[in-house]
């Protein structure tokens, strides 16, 4: 084999046969001009970003404002995840379930091979060894992304642990790695000039769960192209987790310390653009409570030796929604961003070489260059930054990062929040009656769609455990996995489950609850419920706070306004039931019985 090896592989920094032969196979298919093995070094990052600046993909920001930071502007048709073009190609259609697109794997492979054939012509093929989670975890989860985008390489260096150390460990331990293939689908003919954001109108984000492989074509956008994130750490990992007895979830994790110095770790599942990053970096508005960040998007959980649920964050960076992130709402994120070393995508540029987006500062700059490169003034009737514009920032730049982030075995989870974006019906916070009722809250979670995915915004849809676009297998099997796995935990140490909604509206249309830092009041109530210290009203859906049981010290709200945020409305809930029945009917036979029972119980209690 060695003698006939492709010339492009000369000088490869590895002799690991499974990797060499995959890289060779991909190079033969995609026909790049050259192969670059990514070492993850700072020198390499500098060189790549210099090249991206020269190519017009990146704009270097004013280093006095944002050191070592860049802005990228995508093709206007490549700004979000494409759920319609995302596929789970399991061998059997049944195993993809009704929440996923499916195509027969061999047929899909044929289609993809056609698309990838020659797709890297005129470009460099980057080989990016990466690990999700800790390199020294008991069972590290490796991947190798092949991509023809240097923007992807630079972003992956922020979002995951990548490079030489990872490659060495893969070789030394003869490890399995997820082959994750990415092409922007824009080959260059000899002499053809490149565009700043190459991509293809046709996009395919495809997962082969049994093979544990990923093929992504046509997009350069985060969730479609940084394959360690949603594609691996959620879709493929959820399948690994099902087979190996753990959980891969769309959750933030935060560490909460009470005035008595007791520590509680809280995991929370919210759909994309529904507040994970903001809650993870929360700046409490109440005295004596401290929040530290563990993770802002993805949480892997498994039961520990004592039957406690333990969580780790497999990522190394933040890929946060920019609009709405500001000095007023999220100073911790702003401080992390201001340290630099970040890549911004589709934000607006200020005249002094900085970035701006809606909600960053109270004062709106008099002049900006918007994300499309046009002049922008406050009179414009369009936003300056794209609603799904993002900042990509190393997680260790967060001052409030909990030291336990670096612990390979993670932390014990004491509470789980499920939350969505609902104008009505869902109170600010509801404590589940028990674990089964909590799973029901997760299974029936609903939210209005956001700009994080292509398509209409503001449509209410069911989003089980905030995993609707990310479950790599049948949704009913996924809920069964939750039920069965938690049966193996120590019942006394199972986290307590709460349903939250920061987005309820008043009759006048404004937010019923100020949110952001004031969500610490909800966290405090949840912890006090766990400790048996806070009052609540029992309702058909669970326990909601009495107005007096919430710490409202320093909050500028009347008791009536608080009541509007926390109130349980029986009429709204009776209107909700047909939607719940329809949702459960879609699972066919694969829904856990305990959930059907929960719905029956709820209907009875609602009368």
Active site residues: 274
Sheet bearing 368-369, strands edge to edge: 355-356, 348-350, 368-369, 375-376
Binding mask 325-364 for ligand GDP (x = CB under 6 A): x---x-----------------------------------
Collapsing DSSP to helix, strand or coil, 561 comes out as helix
Residue 81 interacting partner from Mn ion, ligand PGA, ligand GDP, none (CB closer than 5 to 8 Å by kind): ligand PGA
As given in the structure block, the two tokens for residue 593 are 């019985």
Residues 6 or more apart from 239 whose CB is under 8 A from it?
A: 209, 212, 472, 473
Residue 206 interacting partner from Mn ion, ligand PGA, ligand GDP, none (CB closer than 5 to 8 Å by kind): none
Judged by CB under 6 A, does residue 417 bind ligand GDP? no
Give me the least distance between CB of 475 and ligand GDP, in Å please: 20
Residue 469 interacting partner from ligand GDP, Mn ion, ligand PGA, none (CB closer than 5 to 8 Å by kind): none
Residue 516 interacting partner from Mn ion, ligand GDP, ligand PGA, none (CB closer than 5 to 8 Å by kind): ligand GDP
Judged by CB under 6 A, does residue 273 bind ligand GDP? yes
Judged by CB under 6 A, does residue 320 bind ligand GDP? yes
Q: What is the C-alpha separation between 115 and 111, in angstroms, rounded?
A: 6
Could you list the residues known to form a binding site for GTP, using ranges.
273-278, 390, 421, 516-519
**Are the C-beta atoms of residues 473 and 95 closer than 8 Å to each other?**
yes
DSSP tag of 374? -
Residue 275 interacting partner from ligand GDP, ligand PGA, Mn ion, none (CB closer than 5 to 8 Å by kind): ligand GDP
Residues 6 or more apart from 527 whose CB is under 8 A from it?
A: 256, 258, 264, 414, 415
Q: What are phi and psi of 162, to 5 degrees?
A: -130, 165
**Are the C-beta atoms of residues 514 and 555 closer than 8 Å to each other?**
yes
> Any idea what the Cα angle at residue 283 is, between residues 278 and 288, rounded to 5°?
145
Looking at residues 40 to 99 of the shown chain, list those that interact with ligand GDP (rule: CB under 6 A): none
Could you list the residues known to form a binding site for substrate, using ranges.
81, 221-223, 272, 388-390
- Of 55-63, 313-321, 551-559, 568-576, the segment contacting Mn ion by CB under 5 A is 313-321
Q: What is the C-alpha separation between 127 and 145, in angstroms, rounded?
A: 6
Sheet bearing 411-412, strands edge to edge: 247-249, 299-303, 309-312, 411-412
Q: What is the C-alpha separation between 551 and 86, in angstroms, rounded?
A: 44
Using the rule CB under 6 A, which residue among 147, 519, 520, 549 binds ligand GDP? 519
With residues binned 3-state (H G I as helix, E B as strand, rest as coil), the percentages for the chain, rounded to 5, are 35, 20, 45
Q: At what angle do helices 593-606 and 435-443 cross, to 10 degrees?
A: 90
Closest CA to 254 of 464, 413, 450: 413
Binding residues for ligand PGA, rule: CB under 6 A, are: 81, 222-223, 230, 272-273, 297, 319, 321, 452
Judged by CB under 5 A, does residue 277 bind Mn ion? yes
Q: How many residues bind ligand GDP (CB under 6 A)?
A: 20
Using the rule CB under 6 A, which residue among 16, 516, 543, 573 binds ligand GDP? 516
Give me the least distance between CB of 326 and ligand PGA, in Å please: 17
Residue 515 interacting partner from ligand PGA, Mn ion, ligand GDP, none (CB closer than 5 to 8 Å by kind): ligand GDP
Judged by CB under 6 A, does residue 515 bind ligand GDP? yes
Using the rule CB under 6 A, which residue among 229, 276, 521, 524 binds ligand GDP? 276
Using the rule CB under 6 A, which residue among 26, 38, 199, 321 binds ligand GDP? 321
Residues 6 or more apart from 464 whose CB is under 8 A from it?
A: 99, 442, 443, 444, 445, 471, 475, 478, 479
Looking at residues 483 to 522 of the shown chain, list those that interact with Mn ion (rule: CB under 5 A): none
Closest residue (Cβ) to ligand PGA? 223
Residue 222 interacting partner from ligand PGA, ligand GDP, Mn ion, none (CB closer than 5 to 8 Å by kind): ligand PGA
- Residue closer to ligand GDP by CB (options 142, 371) is 371
Give me the least distance between CB of 503 and ligand GDP, in Å please: 6
Judged by CB under 6 A, does residue 270 bind ligand GDP? yes
Could you list the residues known to form a binding site for Mn(2+), using ranges.
230, 250, 297
Residue whose pair of structure tokens reads 């046509």 in the numeric block: 218
As given in the structure block, the two tokens for residue 90 are 């399991």
Biggest CA pair distance of the chain: 79
Residue 393 interacting partner from ligand GDP, Mn ion, ligand PGA, none (CB closer than 5 to 8 Å by kind): none
Q: At what angle do helices 593-606 and 570-585 cross, to 10 degrees?
A: 150
Label residues 215-238 b or e (16+ Cβ within 10 Å = b): bbbbbbbbbbbbbbbbbbbbbbbb
- Of 51-59, 74-82, 145-153, 319-327, the segment contacting ligand GDP by CB under 6 A is 319-327
Could you list the residues known to form a binding site, using ranges.
81, 221-223, 230, 250, 272-278, 297, 388-390, 421, 516-519
Using the rule CB under 5 A, which residue among 123, 276, 481, 496 binds Mn ion? 276
- Residue closer to ligand PGA by CB (options 32, 295) is 295
Closest residue (Cβ) to Mn ion? 277
- Residue closer to ligand GDP by CB (options 205, 274) is 274
Residue 98 interacting partner from ligand PGA, ligand GDP, Mn ion, none (CB closer than 5 to 8 Å by kind): none
Collapsing DSSP to helix, strand or coil, 34 comes out as strand
Collapsing DSSP to helix, strand or coil, 13 comes out as coil
Closest CA to 129 of 94, 171, 67: 171
Strands (DSSP E) found in 41-84: 58-60, 70-72
- Residue closer to ligand PGA by CB (options 230, 255) is 230
**Are the C-beta atoms of residues 427 and 522 closer than 8 Å to each other?**
no
Which positions lie near ligand GDP, rule CB under 6 A?
A: 270, 272-278, 320-321, 323-325, 329, 502-503, 511, 515-516, 519
Which positions lie near Mn ion, rule CB under 5 A?
A: 276-277, 320
């Amino acid at each position: 084999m060695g003698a006939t090896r492709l010339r492009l592989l000369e000088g490869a920094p590895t002799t690991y046969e499974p990797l060499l032969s995959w890289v060779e196979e991909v190079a033969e298919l995609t026909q790049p001009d050259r192969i670059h093995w990514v070492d993850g070094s700072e020198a390499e990052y500098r060189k790549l970003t210099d090249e991206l600046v020269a190519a017009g993909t990146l704009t270097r920001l004013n280093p006095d404002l944002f050191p070592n930071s860049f802005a990228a502007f995508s093709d206007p048709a490549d700004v979000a995840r494409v759920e319609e073009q995302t596929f789970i190609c399991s061998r059997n259609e049944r195993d993809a379930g009704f929440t996923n697109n499916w195509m027969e794997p061999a047929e899909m492979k044929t289609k993809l091979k056609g698309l990838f054939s020659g797709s890297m012509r005129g470009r460099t093929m980057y080989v990016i060894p990466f690990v999700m989670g800790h390199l020294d975890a008991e069972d590290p989860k490796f991947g190798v992304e092949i991509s023809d985008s240097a923007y992807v390489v630079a972003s992956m260096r922020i979002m995951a642990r990548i490079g030489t150390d990872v490659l060495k460990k893969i070789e030394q331990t003869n490890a399995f790695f997820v082959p994750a293939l990415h092409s922007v689908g824009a080959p260059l003919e000899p002499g053809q000039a490149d565009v700043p954001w190459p991509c293809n109108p046709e996009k395919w984000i495809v997962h082969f769960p049994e093979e544990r492989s990923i093929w992504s074509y046509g997009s350069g956008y985060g969730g479609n192209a940084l394959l360690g994130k949603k594609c691996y750490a959620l879709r493929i990992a959820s399948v690994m987790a099902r087979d190996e007895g753990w959980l891969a979830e769309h959750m933030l994790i935060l560490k909460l310390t009470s005035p008595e110095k007791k520590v509680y770790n809280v995991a929370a599942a919210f759909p994309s653009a529904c507040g994970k990053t903001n809650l993870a970096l929360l700046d409490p508005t109440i005295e004596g409570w401290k929040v530290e960040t563990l993770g802002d998007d993805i949480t892997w959980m498994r039961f520990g030796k004592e039957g406690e649920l333990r969580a780790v964050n497999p990522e190394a960076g933040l890929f946060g929604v920019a609009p709405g992130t500001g000095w007023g709402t999220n100073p911790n994120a702003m401080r992390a961003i201001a340290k630099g070393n970040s890549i911004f995508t589709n934000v607006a540029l200020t005249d002094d070489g900085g970035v701006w987006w809606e909600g960053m500062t109270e004062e709106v700059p008099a002049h900006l260059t918007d994300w499309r490169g046009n002049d922008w003034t406050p009179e414009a009737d369009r936003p300056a930054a794209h609603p799904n514009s993002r900042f990509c920032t190393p997680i260790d730049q967060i001052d409030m990062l909990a030291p336990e982030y670096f612990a390979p075995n993670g932390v014990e989870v004491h509470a789980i929040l499920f939350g969505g974006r609902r104008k009505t019906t869902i109170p600010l916070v509801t404590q589940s009656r028990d674990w089964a009722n909590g799973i029901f809250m997760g299974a029936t979670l609903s939210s209005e769609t956001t700009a994080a995915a292509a398509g209409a915004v503001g449509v209410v849809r069911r989003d089980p455990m905030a995993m609707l676009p990310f479950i790599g297998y049948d949704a009913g099997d996924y809920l069964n996995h939750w039920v069965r796995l938690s049966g193996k935990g120590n019942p006394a140490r199972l986290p307590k489950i709460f349903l939250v909604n920061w987005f309820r509206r008043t009759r006048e249309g404004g937010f019923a609850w100020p949110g952001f830092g004031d969500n610490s009041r909800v966290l405090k109530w949840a912890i006090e419920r766990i400790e048996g210290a806070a009052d609540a009203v029992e309702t058909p859906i669970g326990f909601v706070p009495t107005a007096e049981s919430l710490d409202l010290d320093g909050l500028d709200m009347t008791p009536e306004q608080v009541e509007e945020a926390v109130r349980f409305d029986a009429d709204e809930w009776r209107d909700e039931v047909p939607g719940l029945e329809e949702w459960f009917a879609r699972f066919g036979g694969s829904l856990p019985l305990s959930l059907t029972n929960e719905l029956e119980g709820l209907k009875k209690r609602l009368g």
